[in-house]
Structure 1
Amino acid sequence: MWRRILLVVLVALTGAAPSVVARAAGRSVGEGLLPFPSDRFTVADRSSPTGRRVNFAAGALPANASGVHIDPAEWNRQDGFSPGTPILVHVPGLDPVASGIAPVTDIGRSLAPDSPILLVDTRTGQRTPYWAELDAHAADRPDRQLLIIRPAVALHEATRYVVVLRNLRDRTGAVIPAADRSVPSRLAWIPRHRLYTAWDFTVASAAGLTGRVLRMRDDAFDGLRRAAPAFTVGAVTDFTVEQDARIARQVRGTIAVPSYLTGAGGPGSRLNFAAGEQLPTASGGTYPAEFVCNIPRGVSAERPAHLSLYGHGLLGSPTEINAGNVKDMAQRYGFLFCATSWIGLSAADVPFVAGVWSDLSAFPSVPDRLQQSFLNFLFLGRAMVSAGGFAANPAFQDGQGRSLLDRRGGLYYDGNSQGGINGGALTAIAQDWTRAVLGVPAMNYSTLLQRSTAFAPFQRLLDQSYPDEADQQVIFGLLQMLWDRGEANGYARHLTSRPLPGTPVHQVLMHVAFGDHQVSPAAAQVQARTIGARLHRPALAPGWSDEVVPFWGIGTVRSYPYRGSALVVWNSGEAYAPPPTNLAPSDPKYGPDPHEFPRAQAAAQLQKATFLLTGKVIDVCGGPCP
């Protein structure tokens, strides 16, 4: 897969105009948006849940190397900013160490009484933990190097936050004079002693973040009523033991899912909105969601297979269920895994996604199609558990016409990497399952991208089309505002508690790879704090963590078996703590990538299977894992 991605990216790079490789000169458009986010870019709107509406002016968002500005139309539908937004400001001469700014390795310092940065919830007056870092990609360009403040827990929806910077110091220890910016009059209560700057912004509401997909879900299932979705079985392949010792039969086909996308729903399509409507409406057709299911050896009518959806990784495909580790778990514990595509970020989307980085006005298609993919997964799951669904089809029966599926046992979810990231959002809206395993997961792509080795080819495209480093950080903040609709960051506040309307409470098990090169463990910790997951301790043997207080702010599993959501860290013993800034661990000194390590461990598979089938988290390590 990565060879194909690299090939597409290289083609895009070689086709770029020579002028785009030069770095931008002069003041960037992004600087006009600083500090970001800010209620300066919103207007009052009594019809929105937050009372605000984002209002970026035409030409205000960054332009690509061809001079084409990002079209703000889709952003201006938002009623606030992301609950995981990067908070951006430029402070000339800033030295984070001399200033005492909390790094990712010491998040607890962000709540110290003398902390130089305050992130305050105006509803409660409470401070929010964070970490902050200078953009390492602009280390040689101080005039473009932004300070990035990252919330260490998802911000509360429909809430106004105030950011205060004070007592900032340069490398000599001298206090940096106040910025030449006027503090809004509504923040006049902030003491001015050694204040550098202060501003406020409003976080989007739950309806603004999740309302589109909930409308799609409820509308589609109302039309379905209690019936199984229509589906077509295509290829049915029975394997001999010599061909496959773990899988007896593979079934491929398509599920007919109501389409809420324009046109045929392919790459580049958008959610369909009727005139004057704020929420998507069905386009009148169906989306043929392809599925692949593997029936493991050992199942029978007397011992039917447990039913689980599977979520594939970045720009992958449903055939990831053919991976050895997935087959192992299927055969060992009797799971039928069925998968469909994360359309928007699947293998078929690679050319479109590569092209998006040359003109980010096209980006809204990605989260739009991801929301349709959520519905596709939900319909696939319903076909698996419905009486008139897969169980009634000969492809899922034995030679006597008896079902091989354990419908009474219910439905589960297991996904890895992107399947762990998107799986958090999918589970938060799921009505047919209450337990999910999120393998090597996290949330918040604005944090993840530059910390991932997988993003390297796309960073090259970004450097070509939007070469200014300040613009790039603003772009990540802008993308997150829309990406929230299609990944766990926009749903995390409702994943395990405070469920969304018409949705049950869910329980999740997170398996994190220490030193992961592709999905930042720091972002996984943010998710764990947000959803209230408890940590298996000791998570790491002494000497492995680079944090002052390892896994700060995450509770501990006190005893086993544990009923609740949990985070278990798996250490391959070969990888090391990643860079403490927005760089990927691409240097050989960080060791081999442990990204696929947890899912391949027999103990991890036992823990996953036990959790899915019983709701109990068991201790399979007796100490750090493994």
Structure 2
Amino acid sequence: RAETADGPRLAFPAEALPVYGLPPQHMTGEAFARADGFGGASPILFTWPGATLLGAPPVFEPAASLAPDSQTVLLDADTGERLAHWAEFDHLTLGRGEPLIVLRAAAPLPRGHRVIVAVRGLVDADGVILPPTPGFLALRDGEPTDLAGVDDRRARFEAEVFAPLAAAGVDRADLQLAWDFTVATGPNGHDTLRVMRDRLMAAIGDDGPAYTLTAVEPVGDRHITWMATGVARVPSFLGPPDEFGLRRHHLDADGLPRIEGFEDVEFTLQFPPSVLEGGQPGGVLQYGHGFLGSKGQGEGGWLRSMADEYGFLILSADMQGMSTMDFTVWLQILARRPSEFPYLYEKAMQGVMNHLALQRMMRGRFLREVDERLTGADGQPVYDPDDLMYYGNSQGGTMGAVIMALTQDVRRGVLGVPGGAFPFLLQRSVVFEDFVRILDNTFRDRIEFSLVLGLLGTGWDPMDPMTVAPHITTDPLPGTPPHEVLLHVAKEDAQVHNQVSFMLGRAIGVGAATPLVEPAWGLPPTDLPFTGSLLAEFDFNHPDNPDPLRPPVKANDTHSDLRNLPAGQRQMMHFLRTGEVIDVCDGQPCRFDPP
């Protein structure tokens, strides 16, 4: 922690950061120096030789952590409230020496607050309580010691750690370990995105960006008559790429992104016959693609069929910074310059701006499109600009939470199999396995890159959906209307774990549609029909994952099932058009065979 003219900022000693490469070297902390605390989705990590987690809050059972005698305590020092969490071993480090112990908060940590961590009652394999380290014992009991740093910490720990814990009913004599940290403030997390949005909208105005259609072609699909391809000129906040393809923001005197030049953003618009020939204006659905995917995922047969049935155009674009074209850049940075991995989000922020700009284009400039293949017989637009919707799956659902927190042009969105809390999301995803093999060659042991994964919670905090999620439906960001979102979750998803989706739901503040497929702590059961934001989980009749520390098995992956399910599609479209979540499962828990 360092005091600066702008207030306190994180300052990691070089020797505290992970070691990578040959010859071995420590990562640098420069990329974290703008943060005024740890990210709200950060895991809490420590090791304890010989420890078991017998009696600790079980995995995915955060209610146990709120019991008065919980072995682990997360205390909000500003309010005195306990924070729900669970304890687990990091599966990436199991079987490789002493594994990391992880405390995972069930909801984003409170912004700008100080959090106290307390551990008591940890036992070994024989059930014997483990003794504190000599340093902490001297600190806790006031014993004299010549261990470096203990005396310097006594006064602060007395006032800021031990006293609040005692007031919360945690017996000092039982403590095996305790420490505290500060969570980054909200503005430190989301102001960059909001400022970019405001500057973008000021630059493009009500009309949106200029665009050029480069092709209008038939696609040989009975559900799509024409696919238009175009290029939009979107104001750019990015500088040129370096030798690895990394692009950074242009910054103004206040350290905020400024516009300089343009990005040529390719987009596609697909026109179904029901819209072109139906006689009534259709809608426009902006589709968000999956992990490091592309706009081509908006051309799936299931989505084209939906567009024709429900009457909407499909608007698609690559998520710049998180698309197929960025995969090599991610690998290069993670393998060769991991200190700079937080900077990857800067290009992804431009990707979010591109999506917002295309929304504005559809409400403005594109209404004057004169290509007769894309207009009605009277030359008028075939779509209603007020019927503009967002729908994304996987990464598209995850980044859709960011888009829905910022958009001024879309009222409702559906977040399909969405996540957030990137350290948690990746650690429980089968998709991350390819990166694990690469990182094994970069870091000297698994603990090092598990620490990197933990640091992702701070490094990517400004871009994490958990940072902006509380502002989607209530407490909107300045200059932003409130929105409504439906979270669609598929039980046993191996790519975005259900518990990550539940965490996002808690961050947004939604309930869970009843009857429940499975218990979901912190998501109030909500009867249908219901008007407003909600989470709905569907079960595709796969067995429960036998190992909660790891992702569900790939063979049972349900990641793509819900988007292909007609009942799920009907629920989604009814919500997007009316704001009402309806029952599509005849009053029973939503269980279906895989489509």
Q: Please confirm whether the aligned pair reaches a TM-score higher than 0.5, indicating the same fold.
A: yes
Q: Which residue of 306, 309, 317 corresponds with 2:286?
A: 309
Given that 2:466 and 2:507 are in contact with CA atoms closer than 8 Å, whether structure 1 keeps it comes out as no
Contact 2:211 2:231 in 1 (8 A): yes
Given candidates 108, 119, 133, the residue that maps to 2:74 is: 119
Question: What is the aligned partner in structure 1 of residue 520 from structure 2?
Answer: 551
1:172 aligns with 2:152: no
Shift in alpha-carbon separation, 1:234–1:68, aligned structure 2, 3 A: farther
SS at match of 1:437: strand
User: Residues 271, 181 of structure 1: CA spacing in aligned structure 2 closer, same or farther, 3 A cutoff?
Assistant: farther
Following TM superposition, where does structure 1 have runs of at least 4 consecutive aligned residues deviating by more than 4 angstroms? none
Instruction: Select 2:10's aligned residue among 50, 54, 57.
Output: 54
1:534 equivalent in structure 2: 511
Q: Please, which of 454, 475, 490 is the counterpart of residue 513 of structure 1? A: 490
Q: Name the SS for the 2:405 alignment partner.
A: helix
Preserved contact between residue 394 and residue 418 of structure 2 (Cα < 8 Å): yes
The one-letter code of the counterpart of 1:478 is L
Counting aligned pairs with the same residue, the percent is 34
Q: State the partner residue of 2:578.
A: 614
Cα distance in 1, alignment partners of residues 427 and 522 from structure 2? 24
Distance (whole Å) between structure 1 residues aligned to residue 226 and residue 463 of structure 2: 32
Q: Secondary structure at the match of 2:173?
A: coil
User: Measured at CA, do residues 600 and 575 of structure 1 come closer, stay the same or move farther in structure 2, by a change above 3 Å?
Assistant: farther
Query: Are 2:535 and 1:567 equivalent residues in the alignment?
Result: yes
Separation in structure 2 between the aligned mates of residue 601 and residue 192 of structure 1, nearest angstrom: 54
Match of 2:357 among 379, 390, 404: 379
Which residue of 410, 434, 448 maps to 2:387? 410
RMSD: 1.9
SS in 2 for 1:156: coil
- Please show how residues 425-464 of structure 1 align to structure 2 within 5 Å: 425-464=402-441
Amino acid at match of 1:69: H
Question: Which residue of 2 is the match for residue 318 of structure 1?
Answer: 295
Query: Among residues 334, 339, 350, which one is paired with 2:316 in the alignment?
Result: 339
Match of 2:247, SS? Answer: coil
Matched residue, 1:91: 48
- TM-superposed deviation, 1:390: 4.5
Structure 1: distance between partners of 2:345 and 2:114: 25
Determine if the alignment matches structure 1 residue 150 to structure 2 residue 119. Answer: no
TM-score of the two chains, using structure 1 as the length reference = 0.86
C-alpha contact 2:502 2:520 (8 A) present in aligned 1: yes
Q: Which amino acid aligns with 1:607?
A: Q
Answering whether residue 229 of structure 2 is matched by residue 229 of structure 1, we say no
Query: Which residue in the other structure is 1:625 paired with?
Result: 590
Alpha-carbon distance change, 181 to 373 in structure 1, aligned in 2, over 3 angstroms? farther
- Map of 1:37 onto structure 2: none
Kindly state the Cα deviation for residue 365 of structure 1 after the two structures are TM-superposed.
Answer: 3.5
**Structure 1 match to 2:146:** none
Is the CA contact (8 Å cut-off) linking 2:492 and 2:556 kept in structure 1? Answer: no
Match of 1:193 among 155, 169, 173: 173
Query: Contact (CA 8 Å) 2:268, 2:316: kept in 1 or not?
Result: yes
Alignment of 1:232-311 (within 5 A): 232-239=212-219, 243-263=220-240, 267-274=245-252, 276-282=253-259, 284-300=260-276, 302-311=279-288
Q: CA deviation at 1:81?
A: 0.8
Paired AA for residue 56 in structure 2: I
Alpha-carbon shift at residue 574 of structure 1 (Å): 2.9
Q: Is the 8 A contact 1:420 1:442 kept in 2?
A: yes
Q: What is the CA distance between 1:367 and its match in structure 2?
A: 0.6
CA distance in 2, matches of 1:317, 1:258: 21
In structure 2, what is the Cα distance between the partners aligned to 1:613 and 1:194?
56
Name the CA distance, whole Å, in 2 between partners of 1:337 and 1:217. 23
**TM (normalized to structure 2)?**
0.90
Partner of 2:186: 206
Cα separation, 2, equivalents of 1:482 and 1:520: 21
1:584 is matched with which residue: 532, 551, 570? Answer: 551
Asked if the contact 1:217–1:375 (Cα under 8 Å) also holds between the matched residues in 2, the reply is: yes
Q: Relative to structure 1, is the Cα distance of residues 393 and 152 closer, same or farther in structure 2, using a 3 angstrom cutoff?
A: farther
Counterpart residue identity of residue 415, structure 1:
G
Partners of 1:460 and 1:75 in 2: how far apart? 25
What is the aligned counterpart of 2:34 among 67, 77, 84? Answer: 77
1:105 positional shift: 3.6
Task: Output the CA distance in 1 between the equivalents of 2:60 and 2:323.
Answer: 33
Q: Of 550, 561, 565, which aligns to 1:597?
A: 561
CA contact (8 A) 1:118 1:163 kept: yes
Contact 1:385/1:410 (CA < 8 Å) preserved in 2?
Answer: no
C-alpha separation between the residues in 2 aligned to 1:46 and 1:288? 38
Taking the aligned partners of 2:376 and 2:31, their CA distance within structure 1 comes to 50
Q: Which amino acid aligns with 2:460?
A: W
Question: Does residue 107 of the first structure (1) align with residue 62 of the second (2)?
Answer: yes
Secondary structure of residue in 1 paired with 2:50: coil
In structure 2, runs of 5+ residues without a counterpart are 140-152, 166-170
Match of 1:219? 199
What's the counterpart of residue 9 of structure 1? none
In the TM superposition, what is the alpha-carbon distance from 1:391 to its structure 2 partner?
Answer: 4.5
Offset of residue 264 of structure 1: 6.2
Q: Give CA deviations for 1:244-293 in whole Å, capped at 9, x if unaligned.
A: 1111111111111111011269941011113x4321111x2001111111
Partner of 1:43: 2
Alignment-derived partner of residue 13 in structure 1: none
- The match for 2:150 is none
C-alpha displacement of 1:111 = 0.6
Q: Secondary structure at the match of 2:255?
A: coil
Measured in 1, the distance between the counterparts of 2:5 and 2:130 equals 40
Q: 2:19 aligns with which of 63, 68, 71?
A: 63
Q: 2:208, 2:358 within 8 Å by CA — same for their partners in 1?
A: no
Gaps of 5+ in 1: 1-41
Tell whether 2:446 aligns with 1:472.
Answer: no
In structure 1, distance between residues paired with 2:543 and 2:293: 24
Residue 510 of structure 1: SS of its match in structure 2? Answer: strand
Aligned-partner Cα distance in 2 for 1:370–1:486: 8
Return the alpha-carbon distance in structure 1 between the equivalents of residues 546 and 326 of structure 2: 29
Task: Measure how far apart 1:578 and its partner are.
Answer: 5.9
State the alpha-carbon separation in 1 of the partners of residues 311 and 224 from structure 2: 10
Q: By how many angstroms is 1:323 displaced?
A: 0.7
Deviation of 1:399 (Å): 5.0
Contact 1:272 1:280 in 2 (8 A): yes
Would the aligned equivalents of 2:295 and 2:318 in 1 still touch at CA under 8 Å? yes
Cα separation, 2, equivalents of 1:218 and 1:421: 22
The code of the aligned residue for 1:383 comes to M
Alignment-mate amino acid for residue 344 of structure 2: V
Following superposition, the deviation at residue 113 of structure 1 comes to 0.8
When residues 495 and 181 of structure 1 are mapped into structure 2, their CA distance, relative to the original with a 3 A threshold, is: farther
For each residue in 1:161-184, what CA deviation from the matched residue of structure 2 results, as whole angstroms up to 9, or x when unmatched?
A: 111111211111111111344454
Q: Which amino acid aligns with 1:449?
A: L
Give the length in aligned residue pairs. Answer: 559
CA distance in 1, matches of 2:241, 2:382: 34
Cα gap change, 1:116 to 1:45, in 2 (>3 Å)? farther
Moved more, 220-229 or 435-444: 220-229
Partner Cα distance (1:366, 1:101) in 2:
36
Q: Match for 1:217: what amino acid?
A: R
Deviation at 1:575, TM superposition (A): 4.9
Q: Does the CA-based 8 Å contact 1:111-1:127 persist in structure 2? A: yes
How many angstroms does 1:152 deviate by? 0.2
Q: Distance in 1 between matches of 2:381 and 2:482?
A: 29
Whether contact under 8 Å (1:103, 1:580) holds in the other structure is no
Report what 1:27 is aligned to: none
Counterpart secondary structure, 2:460 = helix
Shift of 1:523: 0.8
Q: 1:596 to 1:247 in 2, by over 3 A?
A: same
> 1:179/1:382 Cα in 2 relative to 1: closer, same or farther (>3 Å)?
same
Relative to structure 2, which stretch is displaced further, 204-213 or 58-67? 58-67
CA contact (8 A) 1:110 1:130 kept: yes
